[in-house]
Amino acid sequence: MQGMLAIIQSQDADAAMERLEALDLPGLSRIASMGGFLRQGNTALWIAMQPEQVNRVMEVLRATCHRRTSYMPTYMEAPQLAMFPLEVEVGGATLFICDVERYEVF
């Protein structure tokens, strides 16, 4: 079994979940999370899947998770730059894929 941690933007989470649920995966959890850089809310999906399902999961995430421009207020670190928020391009999706050694559900 494979595990995937997918960090995505919360605006994309409903569409991604709807299509992932249709894949009948062994495990699918949606977790509210926060990025360490922007300190804005995002969504972490923890996905358990069979190796042959990985490509289908990737297709769904590519189709539903989009890159967007976000702005980081700079006044916390540098008050003199308060008029110039830092432009940041946020993915899409950040994926960590690993082998699952053991999987249990109670």
Nearest distance from residue 92's CB to ligand 2BA, in Å?
6
Q: Pick the stretch among 17-25, 38-46, 55-63, 97-105 that binds ligand 2BA (CB under 6 A).
A: 38-46
- Does residue number 3 form part of the binding site for ligand 2BA (CB under 6 A)? no
Alpha helices in 46-101 (DSSP H): 54-64
3-state SS record for 26-41: CEEEEEEEECCCCCCE
How far, rounded to the nearest angstrom, does the alpha carbon of residue 25 sit from its chain's CA centroid? 17
- Does residue number 7 form part of the binding site for ligand 2BA (CB under 6 A)? yes
Give the residue carrying structure tokens 């008050």.
79
Summarize as ranges the residues that interact with ligand 2BA (CB under 6 A).
7, 35-38, 40, 42, 88-92, 94
